[in-house]
């Protein structure tokens, strides 16, 4: 995290803490990672940093819940204080090989969002193709996803091909969302009702299609706390800063003020 963002978050923290105390009902914080491997750089989080992230979550006094359970509790008005849901996007193998065992040791549930069209394809994502060969870019196989689900890891859809959904026409959006869900349900032999929009790209029309094809929960990358008023198909989420000390700013809600900046930066979608 850049120094100026850290400073802004530090200034906003007392305000965020005060607003949390004034809120009549608890809210849900959703945080995310991409891959957990040797170094903290780009989409990668180093293993030691990931352990420290989990330490920070525990030290903050979080109640870590499965995402679906947390949303149901939010709906019912029974969500505990400092409720947190953990997520991983894209389907990198390091999540199952490294992050998931560490979470299991602490009995922390999580949701793993996979791109159905890349399962067993042997391909890299477009943003990884120009990088030197490295195991960190390896994606999970279908059988590994099944095994992890059997161990209790929740599996969600991250579309068929990881496109920027707002660029697509309605029929293409429907195919990306519907076909991914159906393939995963056939693979896992259980319902898949959770979606993470690739790169956080969504619009009201995209959200409407998500509802039409059967999703009950969908995750953006718009920072902030989820309350009873937050639409369940555009839940807010922040990706975890590499420096574990900065995670406390996310948990405290001190970076929520940056949400308009997030929206402005994302207006055109990713370069790939």
What is the structure's pLDDT at 20? 57
Give yes or no for a contact between 254 and 12, defined as CB atoms under 8 angstroms apart.
Answer: yes
Looking at residue 181, the DSSP 8-state letter turns out to be H
Q: Which residues of the chain have pLDDT under 50?
A: 4, 7-9, 11-12, 15, 264-265
Q: Given this model, what pLDDT does residue 132 score? A: 82
In 3D space, the residue among 199, 239, 224 whose CA is nearest the CA of residue 40 turns out to be 239
**How much is the pLDDT for 213?**
98
Tell me how far apart the alpha carbons of residues 180 and 162 are, in angstroms, rounded to a whole number: 10
The residue among 204, 144, 215, 221 whose CA lies nearest residue 180 is 215
User: Contact at 8 Å (CB) between 111 and 194?
Assistant: yes
- The predicted structure's pLDDT at residue 222: 92
The pLDDT value given to residue 178 = 98
First to last CA, the chain: 24
Cβ distance 215 to 176 under 8 Å? Answer: no
Query: How is the chain split among helix, strand and coil, in percent rounded to 5?
Result: 45, 15, 40
> Which pLDDT value is given to residue 244?
86
CATH architecture assigned to 3-265: Alpha-Beta Barrel (3.20)
> Nearest-CA neighbor of 45 among 6, 94, 3, 105?
94
Question: What is the C-alpha to C-alpha distance for residues 171 and 180, in angstroms, rounded to an integer?
Answer: 14
User: Is the distance from CB of 255 to CB of 249 less than 8 angstroms?
Assistant: yes
**What's this model's pTM, rounded to 2 decimal places?**
0.90
Closest CA to 184 of 176, 194, 193, 192: 192
**Domain spans of the chain, in order of start:** 3-265
Task: Please report the pLDDT score of residue 245 as a whole number.
Answer: 84
What pLDDT is attached to residue 243? 87
The predicted pLDDT at position 164 comes to 97
pLDDT at 109: 98
pLDDT for 25 equals: 78
pLDDT in tens, 124-147: 999 998 888 888 999 999 999 999
Helices 47-59 and 244-251: crossing angle in degrees, nearest 10, is 40
Q: How confident is the model at residue 15, as a pLDDT?
A: 47
């Amino acid at each position: 995290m850049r120094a100026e963002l850290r400073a802004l978050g530090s200034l906003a923290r007392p305000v965020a803490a005060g607003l949390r105390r004034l809120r009549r009902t608890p809210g849900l914080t959703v945080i995310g990672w991409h891959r957990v491997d040797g170094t903290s750089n780009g989409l990668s989080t180093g293993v030691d940093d990931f352990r420290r992230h989990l330490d920070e979550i525990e030290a903050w006094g979080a109640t870590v819940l499965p995402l679906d359970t947390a949303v149901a509790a939010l709906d019912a008005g029974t969500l505990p204080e400092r409720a947190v849901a953990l997520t991983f996007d894209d389907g990198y193998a390091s999540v199952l090989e490294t992050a998931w065992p560490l979470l299991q040791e602490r009995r922390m549930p999580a949701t793993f969002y996979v791109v159905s069209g890349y399962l067993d394809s042997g391909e890299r994502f477009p943003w990884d193709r120009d990088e030197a060969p490295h195991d960190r870019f390896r994606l999970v196989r279908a059988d590994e996803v099944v095994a992890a689900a059997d161990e209790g890891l929740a599996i969600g859809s991250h579309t068929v091909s990881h496109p920027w959904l707002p660029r697509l026409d309605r029929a293409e959006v429907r195919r990306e969302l519907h076909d991914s869900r159906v393939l995963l349900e056939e693979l896992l032999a259980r319902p898949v009702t959770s979606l993470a929009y690739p790169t956080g790209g969504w619009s009201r029309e995209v959200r409407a299609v998500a509802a039409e094809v059967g999703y009950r929960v969908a995750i953006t990358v718009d920072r902030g706390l989820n309350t009873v008023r937050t639409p369940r198909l555009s839940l807010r989420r922040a990706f975890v800063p590499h420096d574990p000390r900065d995670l406390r700013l996310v948990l405290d809600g001190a970076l929520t003020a940056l949400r308009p900046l997030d929206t402005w930066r994302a207006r055109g979608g990713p370069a790939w």
